[in-house]
């Protein structure tokens, strides 16, 4: 089977017991932790920053942490997240004045880098920086909130991103974020995604393991 990763978005976790929530979702079979950072500027919501990322590391979380920055400007947050223990740092190209520089800063800080594309954003921005990205993240909802519905046009865009990655011959993950559920994950994988963010689908389920097992069963079909 392809190397599929399930990345629960802790945006839908219970923040009052976040460490335990992350322990539980990893015990339930999650691969990486998707960490949504919102600044009430780039997106109309406010969430968590590097202190919380560090708190999860201090709590003993060793899994990769996938920091999805929905902040502008981007650059001054990069070192803070690297020092806080982020594994991946991804950002939206329209949130950075100098995309190439931001990508370089992430790798220089020792993290894996990624670009995030909103539903209406073209993938053209990848052309001259593809060798500087470790992950491409396609938003399948407009960023800012959990619990929205998957935008179907993302499937065609995933196919396009998959072709770009395959043509590059580089080792780049293709992540999808927003509205991923048991009943659409297979179709999303067929379109080319290999890394699946799921917030409400996992954290609103009565049993995380059952939900993750159902997703993996769909991916194995």
Please give the residue ranges that form the binding site for ligand DX5 (CB under 6 A): 9, 11-12, 34, 36, 68, 141, 143-144, 146-148, 177-180, 197-201
177 is catalytic: yes
CB of 24 vs Zn ion, minimal distance in Å = 20
Size of the site for Zn ion (CB under 5 A): 3
Sequence-ordered list of residues with C-beta below 8 angstroms from that of 33, at least 6 positions apart, any chain? 7, 8, 10, 22, 25, 26, 56, 61, 63, 64, 65, 66
User: Distance (Å, rounded) from C-alpha 208 to C-alpha 43?
Assistant: 28
177 alpha carbon, distance to own chain's centre: 6
User: Distance (Å, rounded) from C-alpha 60 to C-alpha 194?
Assistant: 26
Q: Could you say which of Zn ion, ligand DX5, none residue 178 binds, taking C-beta under 5 to 8 angstroms by partner kind?
A: ligand DX5
Residue 146 gets which letter from DSSP? S
Question: Looking at beta carbons, which pairs linking 178-181 to residues 24 or more positions away fall under 8 Å?
Answer: 178/139, 178/140, 178/141, 178/143, 178/148, 178/150, 178/151, 179/140, 179/141, 179/148, 179/149, 179/150, 179/151, 180/140, 180/150, 181/150
Three-state SS sequence of 169-196 = CCCCEEEEECCCCCCCHHHHHHCCCCEE
CB of 1 vs ligand DX5, minimal distance in Å = 22
Q: Could you say which of ligand DX5, Zn ion, none residue 22 binds, taking C-beta under 5 to 8 angstroms by partner kind?
A: none
94 is catalytic: no
Bond into 86 cis (ω within 30)? no
- CB under 5 A: which stretch of 30-38, 89-97, 151-159, 203-211 binds Zn ion? 30-38
CB of 4 vs Zn ion, minimal distance in Å = 17
Work out whether 194 is an interface residue with Zn ion (CB under 5 A). no
* Tokens coding 46: 């406010």
Q: Which of 21, 36, 134, 175 binds Zn ion (CB under 5 A)?
A: 36
Q: Which of 36, 39, 134, 194 is catalytic?
A: 36
Q: Which of 64, 177, 183, 194 is catalytic?
A: 177
CB of 100 vs Zn ion, minimal distance in Å = 23
Identify which of residues 127 and 154 has a Cβ nearer to Zn ion in the complex. Answer: 154
CB of 169 vs ligand DX5, minimal distance in Å = 29
Residues 38-97 that bind Zn ion (CB under 5 A): 68
Identify which of residues 142 and 160 has a Cβ nearer to Zn ion in the complex. Answer: 142
Active-site amino acid positions: 36, 177
| Contacting residues toward Zn ion, per CB under 5 A | 36, 68, 177
């Amino acid at each position: 089977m392809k190397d599929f990763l399930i990345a629960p978005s802790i945006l839908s976790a219970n923040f009052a017991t976040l460490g335990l929530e992350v322990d539980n979702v990893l015990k339930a079979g999650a691969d990486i932790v998707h960490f949504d950072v919102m600044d009430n500027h780039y997106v109309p919501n406010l969430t968590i920053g590097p202190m919380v990322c560090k708190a999860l590391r201090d709590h003993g979380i060793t899994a990769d942490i996938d920091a999805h920055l929905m902040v502008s400007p981007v650059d001054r947050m990069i070192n803070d997240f690297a020092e806080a223990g982020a594994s991946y740092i991804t950002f939206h190209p329209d949130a950075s004045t100098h995309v190439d520089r931001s990508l370089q800063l992430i790798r220089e800080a020792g993290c894996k880098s990624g670009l995030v594309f909103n539903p209406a954003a073209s993938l053209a921005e990848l052309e001259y920086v593809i060798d500087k990205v470790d992950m491409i993240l396609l938003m399948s909802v407009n960023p800012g909130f959990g619990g929205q519905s998957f935008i179907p046009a993302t499937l065609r865009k995933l196919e396009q991103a998959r072709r770009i990655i395959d043509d590059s011959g580089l080792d780049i993950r293709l992540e999808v974020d927003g509205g991923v559920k048991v009943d659409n994950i297979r179709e999303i994988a067929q379109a080319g995604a290999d890394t699946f963010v799921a917030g409400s689908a996992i954290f609103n389920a009565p049993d995380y393991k059952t939900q993750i097992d159902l997703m993996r069963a769909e991916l194995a079909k």
